[in-house]
Chain A
Amino acid sequence: MPDIQTHEYDVLVIGAGGAGLRAAIEAAASGASVGLVCKSLLGKAHTVMAEGGAAAALATVIAQDNWRIHFRDTMRGGKLHNDWRMAQIHAQEAPDRIRELEAWGALFDRTPDGRINQRPFGGHTYQRLAHVGDRTGLEMIRVLQDKAVHAGVGVHMECTIIKILVGEGRAAGALGYYRESGRFVWFRAGAVVLATGGIGKAWKITSNSWEYTGDGHYLAYDAGAELIDMEFVQFHPTGMVWPPSVRGILVTEGVRGEGGVLRNAHGERFMFRYIPEMFKGDFAETEAEADAWVTGDRSRHRRPPELLTRDVVAKAIVAEIQAGRGSPHGGVFLDIASKRPADYIKRKLPSMYHQFKELAGVDITREPMEIGPTIHYVMGGVRVDPESQMSTVPGLFAAGEVAAGLHGANRLGGNSLSDLLVFGRRAGLAAAEFAGRQGRGPAVPEQELGAVMREALEPFERADGENPFAVQAALQEVMQTYAGIVRDQAGLERALAELGRLKERARRVGVTGSREYNPGWHAALDLRALLTVSEMTVRAAAERRESRGGHTRSDYPDQDPALERRLVVVRREGDGMGIRWEPQPAIPEELRRLIKEGA
């Protein structure tokens, strides 16, 4: 076929962050030939920006920690909406995945007796995050990158996948283009693993980079797979708010884990007023007790309320700002300077120190930071089998942020990095098995590939068409305004109407210049995925008339017991988006007891 490169692999992994790399390593270890597609350069995926750490009940610091408590924390943090089996597998396997990473060369911070140190984080009963200062993601991705490269994985950098081809009822492969040349590439594969991350670029204030346009969510949807939980989007409580150019950039939860406190404009530590019923009794009720926990004996004192789950903290911050108690630039204050000595802060949070100093001119060892919520993570995504991570399309797998289930209605900090390792490995293993059993995917007719390529090149035929960046910016504005941290029916309906108009505009975007490294063209192609994931989020959010975890409705402010463990399922039906409700399987009695009564 002209103008197209072809590769064949047993397993094709799309996405080269933690989940993709871990899947590729495992598939290669089981003897499969593996191709790995990176949207950016290798080692630059989102995982590299992860700061705080990876949650695993290693019990190196608090001896009584175990998988049961980690499971319980995950389910409670997810408002019992999680896939219980994924939450169980995750809690049980995370410690092995961390130790394995150490055997591959990761150097985590240590306890005084030489074991892997663990840091406290929101929603975790005990200090549980294996970490490397505040650059845990960098350490993880470098180790996985090394391992994958030496395992003989075929790496395709700066390559964007635009279509999963399906034939004979299974995934057949993927078609994409290389950014550098603008040339198309067809990967025929026995199994395809999606590890493409999230959708945060659909919002204006985001901690996510240009890559996070919901590619995997869209590709799976387009291929006919089911998606669930798309209404659950995590707003990280602490993004930078000033200066405007850095708005949204992440400030690690590790700042609070290391003792940082939240204050409003009156200097009040307001989080004491926002402890939800479910967690009453688990958190310190006075500043004195919270401070004693930070510096003293953690088994005798309760945690500071700043370490409540992210959904709770983010909403509290919004409430403070709305009540007129915000900071000068529309956030609140995060203060560690008054709680820890300067050299401690610089040692434990070096990149935060650097980031504020360079970008905001703020010395966090001397003055408080101004922070506010920023879009960070999507709990929803491709519906997968908890054991194998296979989607509802045979041969199509998903792991990491693009997959749904583990985190329920709200993800705990630290559970993402361990998610990537646990389910990346499982997806790689199952994909290799599938490819071994079923062989290469069916050949795809040339005209089918040709049609995808022709459509992708259409923007070049409209040199006077609308600027794709303008449409992207308009979309971000709509999602920020109507599908942000607090939603209501009227706003969501307005968003849906606006998205319809934006779809029209997207059909008319044009690009100029050559196909070589042309960001305008790339943005034009990304619009399809962005618009589709935005529509999924808005439709699912309109459907769920309650507030739960990362989904908050001002017109339905309470949790509705009738909607507990009920899923909003999204699936393509012809050219339209089908939505339906479905109950989740019941949690086994033994585990239900564990969640309720404790381990």
Chain B
Amino acid sequence: MTQTRRLRIFRGAHGAGELREYTVEAGEGMVVLDAVHRIQAEQAPDLAVRWNCKAGKCGSCSAEINGRPRLMCMTRLSDYPAERPITVTPMKAFPHLKDLVTDVSWNYATHRRIPPFTPRAPDFPDGTWRMFQYEVERAQEFRKCIECFLCQDVCHVLRAHGKHAEFIGPAFLVRAAAYETHPLDIADRRDFLKADGGIGYCNITKCCTEVCPESITITDNAIIPLKERVVDRHYDPLAKLWRALTGRRTG
């Protein structure tokens, strides 16, 4: 069962360009990425688009579909009314390269700045540890992140205010939470999160949680607990006094 669908795709380079309309034969179950590929193969071979797994596992094909940040491979054409065109544009929070492709290198540079995983000494002389499933599961939610950067794209601190230099964005707060909740990790990232990480910029509008294709509860489970830890460290008057008196760090 095929159906004719219209797609309006942003074509152009380095921010300059226009929406161009294409018509494509759509088969059953087709997703937006399939339609983009068909246009590429049959009508516009130089149409730039990133993709890899086509199954929501690699996070490469991020774009904005009718203005909403989504993975093109997990968005079915049939979710949109057939009579209206579907608009596909590149992510807005990153510098535009060409067509649907943006320069996401800032994310990789930002990732590198997070203090890395630092394990406690092994529990046993053979160099191994014991961890329990319930401990592991707490961290696993954050480790589902496929680095699609849709949460970065939707976050107004980055998207509207361009605070890329001051704020690492929800994706890397999730990564920090993955380290912080790792049962073996002993690094202290609170100073990093407050200063370099700019966690205070997040005002909990939860847009990131809404667009996460992995359904990570970014705001409630990652960001808010991190904010609490930072606040405990920096604004607890008793702890402050203790540090001043003893020169030692607390909890």
Judge: A and B partners, yes or no: yes
Q: B60 and A519: CB pair below 8 A?
A: no
Stretch at the interface among B47-55, B162-170, B202-210: B47-55
Q: A519 and B47: CB pair below 8 A?
A: yes
Q: A244 and B108: CB pair below 8 A?
A: no
Q: B51 and A49: CB pair below 8 A?
A: no
Q: A519 and B45: CB pair below 8 A?
A: yes
Contacting B at CB under 8 A, from A67-116, are 99, 102-105, 107-110, 112-115
Report chain A residues within 8 Å CB of B144.
Answer: 135, 138
> What 0/1 readout, one digit per residue, does chain A (348-377) give for beta carbons within 8 Å of chain B?
000100110011100000000000000000
Q: What is the size, in residues, of chain A's interface with B at 8 Å between Cβ atoms?
A: 67
Contacting A at CB under 8 A, from B38-90, are 40-42, 45-60, 74, 76
> Does B132 sit within 8 A of A, measured CB to CB?
yes
> Does B4 sit within 8 A of A, measured CB to CB?
no
Q: B140 and A142: CB pair below 8 A?
A: no
A104-B117, A150-B112 known; A246-B29 Cβ under 8 A:
yes
Q: How far is the CB of B55 from chain A (nearest CB, A)?
A: 5
Report chain B residues within 8 Å CB of A99.
Answer: 127-128
> Does B119 sit within 8 A of A, measured CB to CB?
yes
Report chain B residues within 8 Å CB of A243.
Answer: 27-30
Q: Which residue of B lies closest to A181 (CB)?
A: B97
A244-B29, A245-B27 known; A523-B45 Cβ under 8 A:
yes
Q: How far is the CB of A513 from chain B (nearest CB, A)?
A: 3
> What 0/1 readout, one digit per residue, does chain A (172-199) give for beta carbons within 8 Å of chain B?
0000000010000000000000000000
A46, A114, A360: the one within 8 Å of B29 (CB): A360
Contacting A at CB under 8 A, from B174-212, are 179, 182-185
Q: How far is the CB of A35 from chain B (nearest CB, A)?
A: 16
Q: B49 and A519: CB pair below 8 A?
A: yes
Report chain A residues within 8 Å CB of B146.
Answer: 48, 138
The CA-CA distance from A110 to B137 in the complex, in Å, is 10
The CA-CA distance from A42 to B34 in the complex, in Å, is 23
Report chain A residues within 8 Å CB of B42.
Answer: 467, 469
The CA-CA distance from A511 to B30 in the complex, in Å, is 27
Q: A467 and B52: CB pair below 8 A?
A: no
The CA-CA distance from A210 to B185 in the complex, in Å, is 37
The CA-CA distance from A467 to B38 in the complex, in Å, is 13
Q: B182 and A107: CB pair below 8 A?
A: yes
Q: How far is the CB of B116 from chain A (nearest CB, A)?
A: 5
The CA-CA distance from A40 to B104 in the complex, in Å, is 12
> Does B16 sit within 8 A of A, measured CB to CB?
no
> Does B106 sit within 8 A of A, measured CB to CB?
no
Q: What is the size, in residues, of chain B's interface with A at 8 Å between Cβ atoms?
A: 61
Report chain B residues within 8 Å CB of A359.
Answer: 29, 31, 55, 74, 76
The CA-CA distance from A521 to B46 in the complex, in Å, is 8
> What 0/1 readout, one digit per residue, does chain A (206-224) give for beta carbons within 8 Å of chain B?
0001110000000000000
The CA-CA distance from A139 to B117 in the complex, in Å, is 14
A180, A245, A468, A512: the one within 8 Å of B31 (CB): A245
Q: Which residue of B lies closest to A143 (CB)?
A: B117
Q: A44 and B59: CB pair below 8 A?
A: yes
The CA-CA distance from A211 to B58 in the complex, in Å, is 13
Q: How far is the CB of B132 from chain A (nearest CB, A)?
A: 5
Report chain B residues within 8 Å CB of A103.
Answer: 119, 122, 127
> What 0/1 readout, one digit per residue, does chain A (510-531) give for beta carbons within 8 Å of chain B?
0111101111110100000000
> Does B224 sit within 8 A of A, measured CB to CB?
no
Q: A517 and B127: CB pair below 8 A?
A: no
Report chain A residues within 8 Å CB of B147.
Answer: 43
Q: How far is the CB of A4 from chain B (nearest CB, A)?
A: 21
A44, A360, A467: the one within 8 Å of B60 (CB): A44
Q: B139 and A107: CB pair below 8 A?
A: yes
Report chain B residues within 8 Å CB of A132.
Answer: 140, 143
The CA-CA distance from A250 to B56 in the complex, in Å, is 12
Q: A517 and B99: CB pair below 8 A?
A: yes
> Does A146 sit within 8 A of B, measured CB to CB?
yes
The CA-CA distance from A337 to B182 in the complex, in Å, is 32
Q: Which residue of A lies closest to B136 (CB)?
A: A107
Q: How far is the CB of A15 from chain B (nearest CB, A)?
A: 14
> Does A29 sit within 8 A of B, measured CB to CB?
no
Q: How far is the CB of A537 from chain B (nearest CB, A)?
A: 23
A-B contact pairs, 16 of them (CB 8 A): A42-B108, A44-B59, A103-B122, A107-B182, A108-B136, A117-B133, A150-B116, A180-B103, A209-B54, A470-B41, A511-B46, A513-B45, A516-B13, A518-B46, A519-B49, A520-B40
Pick the 4 closest A-B CB pairs, nearest first. Answer: A243-B29, A520-B45, A513-B46, A114-B130
